[in-house]
Amino acid sequence: MRINSTLTLDERDIEERFVRASGPGGQNVNKVSTAVELRFDLRHAGGLTPAVRDRLIRLAGRRVTDEGVLVIRADRFRTQERNREDARVRLADLIREALVPPRPRIATKPTKASRKRRLEAKGKRAEVKKMRRSKPDFD
């Protein structure tokens, strides 16, 4: 399965099971297994670097089992073929997203003016609270 110009997944790493779907299909939904449960073993998949694998696990969230298997369930359509294609497209999109490394954060310092504004605001607030504390003198 081709992900991009440099990455191709081995078809043997992808396991598909057809199960009964909820959703559209009428009475047919109770008789025919049209939903696809695509399982992709991340720990044993070749072609993925450890960094990409970690990002993929983070992106997939609850869809990754404790054993490191990514499970994608597709039951949007009424036919096996379209659900199968949908699951594969979703897997490819997820892997493409994981291939892009995050931009590193560049640490910045607050400007002198912003520090001054912050201290002035704190001073004003402190003054308001101080006025609330004291009891007025009525002479």
Per-residue model confidence as pLDDT tens digits over 34-91: 788 888 888 877 778 888 888 888 888 888 888 888 898 888 887 888 988 999 899 8
Closest CA to 7 of 102, 101, 92: 92
Rounded to two decimals, the pTM is 0.65
Q: What is the mean pLDDT of residues 109-127?
A: 96
For 70, the enclosing helix (H) or strand (E) is strand 69-74
Using DSSP, how many helices (H) and how many strands (E) does the chain show? 3, 3
Highest mean pLDDT among 18-22, 75-79, 105-109: 105-109
**pLDDT at res. 35:** 83
Lowest mean pLDDT among 2-11, 21-30, 41-50: 21-30
In this model, does residue 23 exceed pLDDT 90?
A: no
CA pair distance 75, 21, nearest whole angstrom: 6
Spelled out in words, what is the top-level CATH class assigned to the domain 11-99?
alpha beta
Q: How confident is the model at residue 136 (pLDDT cuts 50, 70, 90)?
A: low
Q: How confident is the model at residue 98 (pLDDT cuts 50, 70, 90)?
A: confident
